[in-house]
Amino acid sequence: MEGDSVTLNSDVTEIHEDNSTLWKFGAKNFLIAEISREKRIFFTYDDVSDGRFRDRLKLDKWTGSLTITNITTAHAGVYKLEINGPMWSSKTFSVSVY
């Protein structure tokens, strides 16, 4: 519901040193969060596109799960998680807000 928080779970217990994790949003695959333990990158890109994620993204640096706080209809859409490393994997989430 609008105003709530939603967590998109990576289903990973811990991100390995040689993995990188990317969260992307929408049809244009805007990069909204990134983790690279090897490069010491733990970052959320709050000003993606039109700033709709400003102060709303929380990234768990151990599991890679992403939480969107105070969600609005502007946050509805497709989110894609990519974990790159020796074993590549991806996961897609479809978020609806009402």
Question: What pLDDT is attached to residue 93?
Answer: 98
Average of pLDDT values for 23-33?
A: 94
Average pLDDT across the chain, whole number? 92
CB of 6 within 8 A of CB of 86? no
Average of pLDDT values for 47-59?
A: 87
pLDDT for 45 beyond 70: yes
Residue 18's pLDDT band, with cuts at 50, 70 and 90, is: confident
CB of 12 within 8 A of CB of 23? no
Tokens 């969060």 sit on residue: 33
Average of pLDDT values for 23-49?
A: 89
- Residue 36 sits at the vertex; the CA angle it makes with 54 and 34, to the nearest 5 degrees, is 25
Residue 34's pLDDT band, with cuts at 50, 70 and 90, is: very high
What is the tens place of the pLDDT at every residue in 64-87?
999 999 999 999 999 999 999 888
Question: What pLDDT is attached to residue 82?
Answer: 97
